[in-house]
Structure 1
């Protein structure tokens, strides 16, 4: 039996009834009853009487007014205060809604002669029912507008109740149907298309219609309704009720109505017409709760409830009052506030330990107790672990059954691991390897276990299973052990080697609710008190409200401190203190004020120094293991993921991927080329280091970054400049030589032309048949095409020098200088 504070959720007290099975509870007060005379007994109220501070007072039932005699009541309206109104072609009926949701027999039935009723809308503040022979009549009680679909014109019409003017809002629509409105924004929603249908949004002010949900995401929708309470759209798809946000996002499927004609949502209920019955269904269950007979051949239905038509703009009822976090109702509207540690901004937004009750993670300053909410989106956070080495925060979520990693500022957030059917209750980091240990709570004992996830590859190994309800876990890597708590029918504390072998229970008696667990692995002398501090295990008991400790064998148990009615949860060690308790004396250390606005604080981690408990057997080169390295009391063992065996070398897992270590440009030093491992590199002769000296082996057997980018051809900055200077010098020399050659060619050509002219003059009188032959001979005799005159061919070596090497694979002026 438990007593709980209804405001904060804290456990006030508890009593154990080991031999009984209680099923009811009542309150007993041994003070004698006091005689009491009922003042209402002489007032003779017609309906009811209540006692107030000023005396007895008569009241009337809903739908009635108190008369001037302050005793009798008169029917105020033909309508009930709340009800469902159903119409057919010629009449309507009203079914009353009362507090316990039971059926009321005396329904109001009204016959409307000479009228064909297709659709109806309600003004529940003025007790008015509007009827129309068009389709989908709606009423906007803020704008005081009626709207409906005119099938003949494929249009949406409006009628102003204030000005009595009818207007066309949209025309030439494609088979519009099922019109509805959000009165707070003036936005209209309807269904268009045939045979494929979409949901479209417009407005009274004729904004361009926009498709919210396309036909690809719908299956013949009908009976669209906007619910002002949940701010969601609801509709029928075949026989199922579906819904979405007002912007078309977050589509959900709800209940199978088995042939409904008309549906609407009302204060946590789904209501629909099926044949001649009204069906009522609680939104978060799977079967109809209640069926009520109504009119024959019903055509339309609506809710009559004035509380739904209150103008709540500027209050917390509509979209949280526009506040990002907390909206507080005040006399004239609302006031926005921020969660703890955050500051309200001019636009009503907020900037920026797990609080399970409020779904948040808090950061607390260890010096002054200042509390800040981290900018993280969580729902039911349970476990928490902060990695000092990488500054990564890991947290588990009970609702999503995931383990998420993130930076403290909320960036780089991603799901790290999903335990499956179980949720992770507690997290702990092994600083020897960076691997994450956790306890998993499943639906059954066989689905609860303790596991470890490889940080680099996210592969998993189950270490211990078939247990009770595992709760907290702590590691002592330097000693090779992990410890855990179990709650449930039999509370226990267990210990195992970090590879999961030799599990045993070291504490089974005198424990009721071991919520938190932590290990002090230091085992050193406290010089100021001359006390030898052996390695200790500390735990909290939420039922006995105390902190205990023992050695690692569960012996030498002592109570360190007690805190009545505290329901102590998690515990960590920092220096000499466990949260607010001195770990030697047990005295309380005050460092922060109480925060009654906190909910249930589940998990705790601390970052106050750079001290890490590690095992050198695994912290160096992963203990030469290909996958998991597990510290043990005598050294280390290697392990593989679930369903994979270790090879005969007791180091390598079967099928493990290796990264290639034979590289043309670099050598690896001190390297274990398995996924998740990092290696140092040295560049080979002729290559120079470009970026970092380490690479990591990826899960696919590739080096990250690529080894081609680590070491490149050895061409230092000075050597590059020297090579460039030589290259420029040779270009200048070759350019000068080229200019000389060109000059010589021009000079030779000029001399040739002069000789040609002279020869022509000398042979002017020679017969024409011999002219061509003599001229050709003259050209050949002077070396331009012949091979005998070598002095004319001195240009060839120069030309060859200029071009030698440009078309060759190796150019002596462009190769790397050794």
Structure 2
């Protein structure tokens, strides 16, 4: 960016399309701005007016960190410093050469030579070796040879050190006293007698010295400004306190103490006055040591389990780093480095942000290090205004105003009535939800046509954050977003500071999120960053239970996903140059565009016209849902198109080189000018989600009603079909609706019943009705809660949902009650009796008829050898041997697949058995045809 000296006329000079660009240094020459990227190993230049890259050079092995530009033809200005004779440093000014001295020195009256302020380094480490007080250059952390210069030899071993850098004084503990040593004069003085000192710190704000005594169990205070030098006990009855640390800006002390109850070590904290003593951290790792509070980072560090450890405010717990300190017990934090030692003459130096950047140095001229402290006036500033003390109490921005501080808020926030904290005012009618990648924020941006200066509201997500993708659920005002650094998909509710983790797709960066408004289920694309995972994936998260299911895991580069719930389709962008489509349960995948794309990035669905829009490099294309009628809508070679959404008659886009949202007419393809003014505070806008309260949300007809009667996942499918699904490792039961182990509320209601569309699963809502003669006691729907109780705001008694109607006869109501309780209704009972009577009459008639016939034809078939034959001749007729010969008769045999017997005279099976088909239907049977005309009954 660039601006005037007073911060006005701010604008972006260049924004890289590569979100991972790491520019470590810039240089300006005429109308060209150049930068270096150490991570990608290249340097480049862009035009200040155009923002277009004009030159680049890539390195094979070097990591370019800094750069400058040199042109010998430009250096025509004279150099007064050349012959001025400054001893240390000379700078040119409009008035000529000006001499300066390096740290630890003052300029003499001749304005050229320098005199040492004291014998210590201007910025260094004050350390003790036995009874010697010494100093080394602070630049030891960057490789300067650590030669120790000893300043004082005391009469006993020095065990602890504190520094008053602005006063050039050192306080140290030796034997049973505290000593004050003046670096300028070389004088020393005894401050106070002590017990066994186990910790020593100095507050440069109030000029106070604090120390702990392990033998007395006390923490004491002494003011250097006091003429009497009287010590004061602020904490007592401690159990071996040690390793004192200080936060002078907030007047807090920290120390390690032994719990009197458990005997375990714990970190305790309290104020300078001896109040507010409490346990800061318990459950510590084994043998913590080296407690140190860094005022710049506002973090408490210590050594634990041989590693650098710190307290994380966001986690509200202490976290180990990967910085291995082995047996070191003493610790300092300076700038971005940790400095530690185990007590020998070795210093271990780590970069706080790179565990591989580790160096060990031997301090010459000493044999051991018994104590050390930092000497640097810059880390002990004398505050002149409130902004220097805990940011003036401001939550976000503190602007110095004399000795006071004025609180302000960043873009999208407003100052609360307390004039210190910031809050957001959420939008609810018509807005675009966009991720600001550079600043780690999510914004709501008004989509109203007027005014041009759009209202911008920040979503109050926890900071620091690294959002990359986002979506919106209007029913709960939930912003669903993904943090690409923490592997989390989260839910933040608007107008609150409530954020919860929905799911953590470990080993994947979530690049895109879409919501099925039929169910609230959350779809996302995951790009793997682990070397052992080859392909991207599309997964779905159940909004209520947070259960997960992988739908597809064979996509090359799953950059973006979009849904069309009414049609049952999902679409995705494969960065390999393809547009894919599948059912929303992941079945029937196919490619709508399989070639011809150059740089596919993002995709969106127009539910109104059933079109699919997507970004391919510099253009926006669209097509039908089946991939037909593919056309180009818009070309833009300078904006750097990133993501898009469709609402009404327009396509809205974010772009890498624009600090605004672009609006394009979806019929003409023309860019709408003067719609939104650029917002200079915006960074690079990434994913975009559009919401208009006046437009109905796209839902699937079946899945939108009681979750399609599915216990867990209801997946929209084409042709108004749906399928039910279960999380990984859970099987779908035979009813094709219920996942194994899913509980349900009771489906029985006394004197009534639940709706046929009621599933009874947790979070399902259902209507109910009462049987005739009973009235409903509640209006509205019932909800099955997590405890498997039906509720309507509060729990309800299912036995009291239907009460007797006062206008119905009690006997009739009793009959109805019996029906509702599962007994046979009066109508059913009457019908049953009638059927029984009819059957009885039929049986009597048949018996009478049979007896009558038997009397007439007595002994008629006495000559028959086999009376079960269906073709038996009448009396006196010839007998066919085919039906009387024993050898030709297939005797009844046990069926292979049934418990009974089969009669081969009635049923003839194929010689080859027919196996059951997949539908478990019986095999087809063949029957023998017999000519019945030759026989008479």
Paired residues of 1:189 and 1:202 also in contact (CA < 8 A): yes
Q: CA deviation at 1:82?
A: 0.6
After TM superposition, the structure 1 stretch with the greater mean CA deviation from structure 2, 34-43 or 271-280, is 34-43
Greater CA drift, 360-369 or 548-557: 548-557
User: Which of 267, 280, 286 pairs up with 1:199?
Assistant: 267
Equivalent residue number for residue 159 of structure 1: 222
| CA deviations over 1:7-29 (Å, ceiling 9, x no partner) | 88554556999999897789999
Q: CA deviation at 1:597?
A: 0.4
* Range with greater deviation from structure 2 (325-334 or 581-590): 325-334
The alpha-carbon deviation at position 104 of structure 1 amounts to: 3.0
SS of alignment partner, residue 392 of structure 2: helix
CA distance in 1, matches of 2:307, 2:284: 14
Aligned counterparts, 1:433-452, within 5 A: 433-444=519-530, 445-446=533-534, 448-452=536-540
Cα 1:431–1:187 change in 2 (3 A) is closer
Is residue 104 of structure 1 aligned with residue 145 of structure 2? yes
Alignment counterpart, residue 257 of structure 1, candidates 301, 325, 329? 325
Q: Provide the residue aligned with 1:307 in structure 2.
A: 378
Aligned equivalent of 1:636: 721
How far did residue 683 of structure 1 move? Answer: 1.9
2:638 is the counterpart of 1:565: yes
Which residue in 1 is equivalent to 2:367?
Answer: 296
CA RMSD of aligned residues (A): 3.8
Question: 2:201 touches 2:245 (CA, 8 Å); kept in 1?
Answer: yes
Instruction: Count residues in correspondence.
Output: 699
Structure 2: 5+ residue stretches without partners: 1-10, 18-50, 177-196, 425-433, 653-662, 809-937
Could you state the TM-score of these two structures normalised by the residue count of structure 1?
A: 0.76
Alignment CA distance shift 1:240-1:613 (3 Å): closer
Give distance in 2, aligned partners of 1:626 and 1:246.
Answer: 39
The alpha carbon displacement at 1:234 in A equals 2.8
- Displacement of 1:300 in angstroms is 0.8
Give the deviation of 1:310 after TM superposition.
0.6
**Aligned residue in 1 for 2:927:** none
SS in 2 for 1:428: strand
1:78, distance to aligned residue in structure 2 (A): 0.9
The answer on 1:714 being equivalent to 2:803 is: yes
Alignment equivalent of 1:537, drawn from 612, 617, 621: 612
Contact 2:702 2:722 in 1 (8 A): no
Q: What is the CA distance between 1:87 and its match in structure 2?
A: 0.1
Bigger shift: 706-715 or 163-172?
A: 706-715
Tell me if structure 1 keeps the 8 A contact 2:525–2:559.
yes
1:335 to 390, 398, 406: 406
Q: Deviations over 1:159-198 (max 9, x none)?
A: 3322232222244543332333322233333333375333
- Structure 2 contact 250–390 (Cα < 8 Å) conserved: no
Q: Which runs of 5+ in 1 are unaligned?
A: 524-534, 720-818
Once the two structures are overlaid, the 10-residue window that deviates more, 690-699 or 647-656, is 647-656
C-alpha deviation, 1:154, in angstroms:
4.0
- Determine which of 652, 671, 676 is the counterpart of 1:592: 676
TM-superposed deviation, 1:517: 1.6
Q: Is the 8 A contact 1:646 1:653 kept in 2?
A: yes
Q: Hey, what does 2:192 align to over in structure 1?
A: none
Q: For residue 816 of structure 1, what is the aligned residue in structure 2?
A: none
Sort the Cα spacing of 1:631 and 1:232 in 2 relative to 1 into closer, same or farther, 3 A: closer
Who is 2:856 aligned against? none
- The match for 2:688 is 604
Q: Do the aligned residues in 1 keep the contact of 2:750 with 2:800 (CA within 8 Å)?
A: no
**Structure-2 change in CA distance of 1:89 and 1:431 (3 Å):** closer
- Structure-1 residue corresponding to 2:552: 464
How far apart, in 2, do the equivalents of 1:18 and 1:104 lie? Answer: 35
**1:594: how far off?**
1.4
Q: Residues 640-679 of structure 1 correspond to what in structure 2 (within 5 A)?
A: 640-641=725-726, 642-644=728-730, 646=732, 657=743, 659-673=745-759, 675=761, 677-679=764-766
Among candidates 500, 503, 508, match of residue 422 of structure 1:
508
Moved more, 23-32 or 182-191: 23-32
Q: Contact 1:627–1:638 (CA<8 Å) still a contact in 2?
A: no
**Given the two structures, how large is their TM-score scaled by the length of structure 2?**
0.67
Contact residue 88 and residue 118 of structure 1 kept, 8 A: no
1:697 Cα shift? 4.9
1:95/1:104 contact within 8 Å kept? no
Q: Alpha carbons of 1:203 and 1:248: their partners in 2 closer, same or farther (altered >3 Å)?
A: farther
1:390 and 1:180 mapped to 2: Cα distance? 46
Cα distance in 1 for residues equivalent to 2:140 and 2:285: 36
Per-residue CA deviations over 1:93-130 (Å, capped at 9, x if unaligned) read: 21102397222354322241434423222111122222
**Contact 1:629-1:636 within 8 A present in 2 as well:** no
Cα distance 1:184–1:578, how it changes in 2: closer, same or farther (>3 A)? same
Among 425, 429, 446, the alignment partner of 1:365 is 446
Residue matched to 1:680:
767
Which one scores higher on RCO, CA 8 angstroms, separation ≥ 6? 1
Residues 1:187 and 2:252 aligned together? yes
CA contact (8 A) 1:8 1:596 kept: no
Contact 2:513–2:522 (Cα < 8 Å) also in 1 = yes
Q: How does 1:488-527 map to 2 (within 5 A)?
A: 490-509=576-595, 511-523=597-609
Equivalents in 1 of 2:779, 2:735: separation in Å?
32
Between the aligned partners of 2:750 and 2:145, the Cα distance in structure 1 is 89
Give the C-alpha shift of residue 304 in structure 1. Answer: 0.5
Checking the alignment, whether the CA contact within 8 Å between 2:709 and 2:759 is kept in structure 1 is no
